[in-house]
Structure 1
Amino acid sequence: MTNPAPSTDSTAFAIDTAAQAAMRSSRPAGHGPVRAYDWIGHHAANRPGKEAVRELSPRKHHSYADLDRRAEALAVHLQSQGIGRGARVALLAHNGVEYFDLQFACGRTGGIAVLLNWRLTATELEYILNDSAPLLLIHDVEFTATAQDLQQRCGIRHLLCIDKGRGAASAYEAALAAQAGQVARREVLTHDDVVTIMYTSGTTGHPKGAMITHGMNFWNCTNLGTPAGVGMKTVHLSVLPLFHTGGLNCYSNPVLHAGGTVVVMRTFDPGAALRVIGDVAEGITHFFGVPAPYQFMLQHPEFATTDLSRLQSAGVGGAPCALPILQGWGSRGVHLMQGFGMTETSPACIFLDPADAQRKLGSTGKPLLHTEARIVNDAGADCGPDEIGELWVAGPNITPGYWNRPDATAGAFEGRWLKTGDAARMDSEGFFYIVDRWKDMYISGGENVYPAEVENVLYQLPQVAEAAIIGVPSDKWGEVGLAVLALKPGQTLDRDTVLAHCQGKLARFKIPTDIAIVPALPRNATGKVLKRELRKQFVGSNAPAIT
């Protein structure tokens, strides 16, 4: 693999896009960008003893005053390491208060948090770290060997280890304690400043770093918090990975913005999650998940006896939610709130009110308060009712672009409109429906998988002449990958060999579960593989047995 040289330009994040220019031109004369305010500092001043974050394993309670002190100490530590405005800090860790420490420390220093998917292999992380060029990598103790390897590969200056088992003796906690009482040099930040980079799998085989601004975070809190009923009394159970927009922004950030409490589960376990939800002492009022956690809890023996009566809001997104899941939870009095969003939209974008859930089965709802949506045909004109086109969205919750990828940024926008790449339709009442994914992406267990990345690995096999990945239905994961392969003359290949080849090169959720051998891949006149033909052949009751 050839990686780009690490960037040392701390201003590289300030990519000017047509969307940003449009926002600036719409401001009244004499008015600059909206200033970004310190949520945690505000709550620490007004309700210092209120619980902000509750970690379940190991159990620890952090008040808003505690979180304020932690963010400030980390901000001072970052500056002591020469990490200032625009510099990147990477985090490779399971769920914990450290995600919020880093986010709000960056909100004071102007740093940018690069949140890493711990399910990725070292090779996949190497590309991301070379692209984002962080000066510091904060990591869980269990990822120490990986972190040390990546430090050498990517030229990272500093490592800082989180060790929950050692408590205050953890290097991370010791670094915070060493800066206790010190005050960071504050940067004046605006809604246009980038605070996080979240890497999404790319259709070209390499992930793209979606830039998340302070403004995107704020508008997501406003967009999502109101319909979800988030407030100071909210107690949200966060089980999705906090490196993912669903974990961080649905509903954790909106809850902290409102002054509520986020209960953090280090890794998801369906039985444990049900017990926490059902525990009167925990007081859980809100929950959000992709369909898989809901399915796993629904299938758990304790689901029927768990007290769900205190659950005021249960959101679902990230993938289409199967009707049996909606009905199963509905039978217990919990009507799942469906919606549509992307990392690039921060993510809340379209939302289906529970009151319309049964009447509009399959719909993702209507645009949220501060988001616009339209469906556009190939000619760039708006589609009529029930006409299928591409979903475009706009608003202050939209990313300014992709890190170090002005080409990808330019291709993603038409003026102020973000082209989602999703085929959709809108009915006569204004309800949106996602029909298909034009980018050939499929979703496995709530994780986006882009075939080109997997196909690049399959082409490394000497027996393979052609390779294509398609998503096929899975009762457990929603979709899994099927590798459709055409072999070179005289070659043979079996499933075990393909899967063994992918181990260590791809995260487990990206590895295809099965293969099919064909004489040649179907292509159009320009040579593009016709994946719709592969889906016809291998998906459905009349599909031949997969070998």
Structure 2
Amino acid sequence: MSIRYYDWIAHYGRRNPAKVALVDLGSGRRFSYGELNERVSRLAGHLRDALKVARGDRVAVLALNTTDTMEVQFACFRLGAIFLPLNNRLTVPELQFIVGDAAPRVMIHDDELAETALTVAGLCNVESALKFGPGGSYEAGIAAAKPIDKAEIVTLDDISTIMYTSGTTGLPKGAIITHGMTFWNCVNLGGPAYISPASVLLTVLPLFHTGGLNCYTNPVMHAGGTVLIMRVFDPGEALKLISDPARGINVFFGVPSIYQFMAQHPAFAASDFSRLVIGGVGGAPMPVPLLKVWEARGVALQQGYGMTETSPAVMVLDKEDAARKAGSSGKPVLHTEVRIVRPDGSDADIGELGELWVKGPNVTPGYWNRPDANKSSFTDGWLHTGDATRIDEDGFYYIVDRWKDMYISGGENVYPAEVESVLHQLPAVAEAAIIGIPNEQWGEVGMAIVAVKPGHTLAPAEIHAHCAANLAKFKCPRLIEFVDALPRNATGKIHKPTLRQQFSAPKATDVAEAAAS
């Protein structure tokens, strides 16, 4: 028997209607749970009655961060419709593939992205469009609609969301997210992140991404807390908001680059982090030197690991272990199973690298319209993550790197994240990435792409000497390329496919030769 999904916003609209639910920092709007419940109900009525959205229909959103996006999500949940958040950094051809694949009935957008949204909607024959903002058809629809009198009954097994992966290794795949996956993520993260009705979260990651939506926006709202949504991340403004006692922000989450940009901001040294109960970090390996910078300011960043396909939480490092187990993603969350698997399918030993497999109610049942991916991504219900992982003698897990980012030099496996962490120890390094470059003698050698902090200088020989003192010879990058900034995707992760394309025929400095000359 399937378990029914229950409406959080309706619950808190009855239980605590005056409590502030959402604050839109871009517009200054604030909504209590009572007001939010009314708006969600009216939006659901407009989608159902005026735009003919029914159970199972997809509703797309292309916008910068706004509280309106959360309203659309909850209205879809109330109708049994499927929420389709779109990456606002994609081009028309990229979005055309996703929208064509998911076939939404409605395209909802903001003014900044109207041209792109309407072009894609036209190309994909989307029936209706709504525009966010004052005077827009979205607000007009809410104002004119009658609240729905009865929500659609849906279960935890029903699809709530389709979230497309970044498409770094081919065409994007639409990960199916069920109501149960979202619920179990709220449960799995609630304890380790100390989420409660008293939680006040500053959301800076994009809401089209699982990090912005589920770390920890949905969990905080599931607990009846308050979420402040920043339209576009600004490190100085984020530090100002966290430091402001009137805001009361006590929960924060970011990818490593978010914390890096904040730590490099002039206001960092004087910022007040005393109210932060939790500062979570995930999405990419976190350089240990950066963890130490935040630790020195009294913030023990809580590392974690997850994927879009896993809701996303899989592992969390308790903040009490942050210092002594720096670099670890922690241990599995409550309602999740994990394995580290050798290429032959057997379980790896302690300390041995293998691929992380995940199983549990938080794992996707598959990909939208992709039976091929469903067949190759699962074994007996276990999701293959593609992440090289090891476990230590105390049971703590370490995500070493993506299998696809690993390269082989002279027969030895090299995991870029390990080398990147060493590069970040150099005070002049603002950011760095390692990729493998073809080499006749060694098969592949490492290239370091480095951005130097303003006002600093860094010579290739310095990088070589530092790596030689801290890494085995086969791990040391032979090639160095200096850039002003590294390319990143919409969530702030360094985009290595762009680097591989850009430097496939490098004109870089071979530091080994430079050191020898």
> C-alpha deviations, 1:335-393, integer Å up to 9, x for none?
10001100000101011112222222221111011111110112211111111111001
Aligned to 1:288, the other structure's residue is in SS state strand
**Given the superposition, is the C-alpha separation of residues 203 and 300 from structure 1 closer, same or farther in structure 2, using an over 3 Å criterion?**
closer
Q: Is the Cα–Cα contact under 8 Å of residues 109 and 185 in structure 1 kept in the other structure? A: no
Q: Residues of 2 paired with 1:308 and 1:236: CA distance?
A: 13
Q: Which residue does the alignment assign to 1:62?
A: 31
Q: Which residue does the alignment assign to 1:531?
A: none
Aligned to 1:375, the other structure's residue is in SS state strand
For residue 127 of structure 2, the aligned residue among 147, 157, 165 is: 157
Matched, 1:515 2:502: yes
Q: Is the Cα–Cα contact under 8 Å of residues 95 and 267 in structure 1 kept in the other structure? A: yes
- After TM superposition, the score normalised by the length of structure 1 is 0.76
1:538 Cα deviation from its structure 2 partner: 7.9
Q: Which residue does the alignment assign to 1:218?
A: 183
Q: Is the Cα–Cα contact under 8 Å of residues 274 and 297 in structure 1 kept in the other structure? A: yes
Q: Residues of 2 paired with 1:301 and 1:474: CA distance?
A: 22
Q: Which residue does the alignment assign to 1:523?
A: none
**Given the superposition, is the C-alpha separation of residues 299 and 273 from structure 1 closer, same or farther in structure 2, using an over 3 Å criterion?**
same
> C-alpha deviations, 1:443-493, integer Å up to 9, x for none?
99xxxx9x9xxxxxxxxxxxxxxxx9x99554589xxxxxxxxxxxxxxxx
Specify the code of the residue in structure 2 equivalent to 1:435.
V
> C-alpha deviations, 1:294-330, integer Å up to 9, x for none?
1111111111111111111100000111122211111
Within-5 A mapping of 1:89-168:
89-163=59-133, 167=134
For residue 140 of structure 2, the aligned residue among 169, 174, 181 is: 174
Q: Which residue does the alignment assign to 2:321?
A: 356
Identical-pair percentage: 51
Q: Which 5+ residue runs of structure 1 have no aligned equivalent?
A: 1-31, 452-467, 478-494, 496-506, 519-533
Specify the code of the residue in structure 2 equivalent to 1:178.
A
Q: Residues of 1 paired with 2:513 and 2:241: CA distance?
A: 43
Matched, 1:34 2:3: yes
Q: Residues of 2 paired with 1:194 and 1:416: CA distance?
A: 18
> C-alpha deviations, 1:83-111, integer Å up to 9, x for none?
10110010000111112111111111110
Aligned to 2:374, the other structure's residue is in SS state helix
Q: Which residue does the alignment assign to 1:342?
A: 307
Q: Which residue does the alignment assign to 1:312?
A: 277
Q: Is the Cα–Cα contact under 8 Å of residues 239 and 289 in structure 1 kept in the other structure? A: yes
Q: Which residue does the alignment assign to 1:370?
A: 335
Q: Is the Cα–Cα contact under 8 Å of residues 219 and 396 in structure 1 kept in the other structure? A: yes
**Given the superposition, is the C-alpha separation of residues 381 and 281 from structure 1 closer, same or farther in structure 2, using an over 3 Å criterion?**
same
Q: Residues of 1 paired with 2:222 and 2:196: CA distance?
A: 9
Q: Which residue does the alignment assign to 1:384?
A: 349
Specify the code of the residue in structure 2 equivalent to 1:269.
D
**Given the superposition, is the C-alpha separation of residues 230 and 538 from structure 1 closer, same or farther in structure 2, using an over 3 Å criterion?**
farther
Q: Which residue does the alignment assign to 1:395?
A: 360
Matched, 1:298 2:263: yes
Q: Residues of 1 paired with 2:53 and 2:15: CA distance?
A: 30
For residue 41 of structure 2, the aligned residue among 72, 77, 83 is: 72
Specify the code of the residue in structure 2 equivalent to 1:408.
A
Q: Residues of 2 paired with 1:323 and 1:541: CA distance?
A: 25
Matched, 1:48 2:17: yes
Q: Is the Cα–Cα contact under 8 Å of residues 300 and 323 in structure 2 kept in the other structure? A: no
216-225 vs 203-212, greater mean Cα deviation: 203-212
Specify the code of the residue in structure 1 equivalent to 2:156.
H
Q: Which residue does the alignment assign to 2:243?
A: 278
Q: Residues of 2 paired with 1:301 and 1:540: CA distance?
A: 35
Q: Residues of 2 paired with 1:160 and 1:34: CA distance?
A: 33
- After TM superposition, the score normalised by the length of structure 2 is 0.81
Within-5 A mapping of 1:427-446:
427-440=392-405
1:513 Cα deviation from its structure 2 partner: 8.6
**Given the superposition, is the C-alpha separation of residues 75 and 542 from structure 1 closer, same or farther in structure 2, using an over 3 Å criterion?**
farther
Q: Is the Cα–Cα contact under 8 Å of residues 26 and 231 in structure 2 kept in the other structure? A: yes
Specify the code of the residue in structure 2 equivalent to 1:100.
M
Specify the code of the residue in structure 2 equivalent to 1:132.
A
Aligned to 2:368, the other structure's residue is in SS state coil
Q: Is the Cα–Cα contact under 8 Å of residues 538 and 544 in structure 1 kept in the other structure? A: no
Aligned to 1:339, the other structure's residue is in SS state strand
1:515 Cα deviation from its structure 2 partner: 3.4
1:154 Cα deviation from its structure 2 partner: 0.7
> C-alpha deviations, 1:148-199, integer Å up to 9, x for none?
2112211111111112xxx3x22211111111x4325522101111111110
1:542 Cα deviation from its structure 2 partner: 3.6
Q: Which 5+ residue runs of structure 2 have no aligned equivalent?
A: 407-415, 421-432, 436-443, 454-480, 482-492
Specify the code of the residue in structure 2 equivalent to 1:91.
V
Aligned to 1:335, the other structure's residue is in SS state coil
Q: Residues of 1 paired with 2:168 and 2:213: CA distance?
A: 24
For residue 161 of structure 2, the aligned residue among 196, 200, 209 is: 196
Q: Is the Cα–Cα contact under 8 Å of residues 391 and 419 in structure 1 kept in the other structure? A: yes
Q: Residues of 2 paired with 1:111 and 1:385: CA distance?
A: 45
C-alpha RMSD of the superposition? 2.8
1:434 Cα deviation from its structure 2 partner: 1.3
Aligned to 2:404, the other structure's residue is in SS state coil
Specify the code of the residue in structure 1 equivalent to 2:71.
D
Q: Residues of 2 paired with 1:539 and 1:400: CA distance?
A: 47
Matched, 1:262 2:227: yes
Specify the code of the residue in structure 1 equivalent to 2:324.
R
> C-alpha deviations, 1:206-226, integer Å up to 9, x for none?
000001110000000000011
Q: Is the Cα–Cα contact under 8 Å of residues 336 and 359 in structure 2 kept in the other structure? A: yes
Residues paired across the two proteins, number: 443
Q: Residues of 1 paired with 2:27 and 2:207: CA distance?
A: 17
Q: Residues of 2 paired with 1:475 and 1:259: CA distance?
A: 42
Aligned to 2:389, the other structure's residue is in SS state strand
Q: Is the Cα–Cα contact under 8 Å of residues 43 and 147 in structure 2 kept in the other structure? A: no
Q: Residues of 1 paired with 2:504 and 2:80: CA distance?
A: 52
Specify the code of the residue in structure 2 equivalent to 1:117.
N
1:514 Cα deviation from its structure 2 partner: 7.4
1:135 Cα deviation from its structure 2 partner: 0.9
Q: Residues of 2 paired with 1:517 and 1:138: CA distance?
A: 39
For residue 407 of structure 1, the aligned residue among 364, 372, 391 is: 372
Q: Is the Cα–Cα contact under 8 Å of residues 95 and 241 in structure 1 kept in the other structure? A: yes
Q: Which residue does the alignment assign to 2:384?
A: 419
**Given the superposition, is the C-alpha separation of residues 131 and 540 from structure 1 closer, same or farther in structure 2, using an over 3 Å criterion?**
farther
Specify the code of the residue in structure 2 equivalent to 1:281.
A
